[in-house]
Structure 1
Amino acid sequence: MLEKQGQLLRGVAAPILIDNLDTDQIMPKQFLRIITRQGLDRGVLYDLRFHPDGSERKEFILNQNGFRAAKFIIGGPNFGCGSSREHAVWGLQQLGIEAVIAPSFGEIFFGNALNNRLLLIVLQQEQINALLQDLASGHHELEIDLHICAVRSATQVFTFPLAERHRKMIVEGVDMVGATLQMLPAITDFEQGHRARHPWADALR
């Protein structure tokens, strides 16, 4: 959970080091038929998490003790590539994932995620390797400080880029509509000023 005072996210990080993990794998097509956002957590990475008969694949990281309640995923390059499948973002959030750390992301997935307040963090591969070393030594928890945009492990601290607009959306828990409504006074002032300067424009409506 986000701590209001320190703007911190804390939790276990699960490494899923698959290059080019696309949205079809993150959320398979059979889970796209629902008309609500509920129940998508079951579909996340379904073919990796479950056998065809629905039983768990014990070897998969999210099915292992200590990682079932993971809050963060450390992914491989081009995480979330492929088609625009917003269900992939919703499913990850319903599974309890609050952030994904990777060297790069699929462009469409990147936009969908941040607009839905799923934090995506881009780090250099060398930095990710350092985080993975801490995980391998048994230090499975990370801390993400959204005040200074930094990731902390047991021995490392790395900063990451994040647009201020998206940072505020995540910290304040507002979506794009809510973020726009926060600017309503400025929007209203602009409209009134524009009409005062160009009164003829109203006649064109």
Structure 2
Amino acid sequence: MDKFTTLTGVAAPLPQINVDTDMIIPKQFLKTIKRTGLGKNLFHEMRYDHNDREIEDFLLNRPAYRNAQILVTGENFGCGSSREHAPWALLDFGIRCVIAPSFADIFYNNCFKNGILPIVLPQEEVDKLMDDAHRGANATITVDLESQTITGPDGGTIAFEIDPHRKHCLLNGLDDIGLTMEKEEHISAFEKALHLRMPWHHHGG
């Protein structure tokens, strides 16, 4: 999993509430078990018409936002059925950070598993970033996970909260498997230390 440390990128505004996982990636694209390639179908029904032609005025089809890496959106983002394809599609499109007043729990957890940083902020802070994001290609914001700050195009900063354990995992690019290995290293180091202090404690044998 890619580490997440600092991200500077274009923020795209999607001022909708209750964007569900079916809007993020419609069910006809769930057949794949590959994590890559789903980006072109992200927000499929909003992005393409019935002939699979791009709908020009949809946000991510506009030149300014084609390379957006940050999404600013409304409350309860990622609700609906739990599908890990939703974060896969965002990631494959190039989005590494989603900022919203609230997220659906399962989607929120799935983001961390896939190296995406979901940030929860009060509505008025989200509104400020939404305004910034409406500036198109000039809407470059910087998200610094280490210092837990978001810096807007004008240099103003917003602080955000994140669980320390999840922060550690993202900063180090640890998914569930990486975590297990990291824990095992701690355990074996602990056992070695224990063994040195109490050599008469033989494990097994």
Q: Same fold (TM over 0.5)?
A: yes
Q: Give the deviation of 1:190 after TM superposition.
A: 6.2
Gap runs ≥5 in structure 1: none
1:1-205 alignment to 2 at 5 Å? 7-137=5-135, 139-155=138-154, 156-188=156-188
Give TM-score, length-normalised by structure 2: 0.86
Do 2:141 and 2:152's aligned partners in 1 also have CA atoms closer than 8 Å?
yes
Q: Distance in 1 between matches of 2:186 and 2:3?
A: 29
1:12-71: per-residue Cα shift (whole Å, max 9, x none)? Answer: 000011110000110100000123223211221000111111000000010001100000
Considering only aligned residues, what root-mean-square deviation do their CA atoms show, in Å? 2.4
Q: Give the deviation of 1:146 after TM superposition.
A: 1.1
Q: Give the deviation of 1:137 after TM superposition.
A: 5.0
Give the percent of matched residue pairs that are identical in Structure 1 and Structure 2: 37
Give 3-state SS (helix, strand or coil) of 1:182's partner. helix
Q: Give the deviation of 1:191 after TM superposition.
A: 7.0
Q: Distance in 1 between matches of 2:28 and 2:131?
A: 36
Farther-moved stretch of structure 1 (28-37 vs 77-86): 28-37
Gap runs ≥5 in structure 2: none
**What letter is aligned with 1:177?**
I
Distance 1:46 1:87, change over 3 A: same
Give TM-score, length-normalised by structure 1: 0.86
Q: State the structure with bigger RCO (CA 8 A, min sep 6), 1 or 2.
A: 2
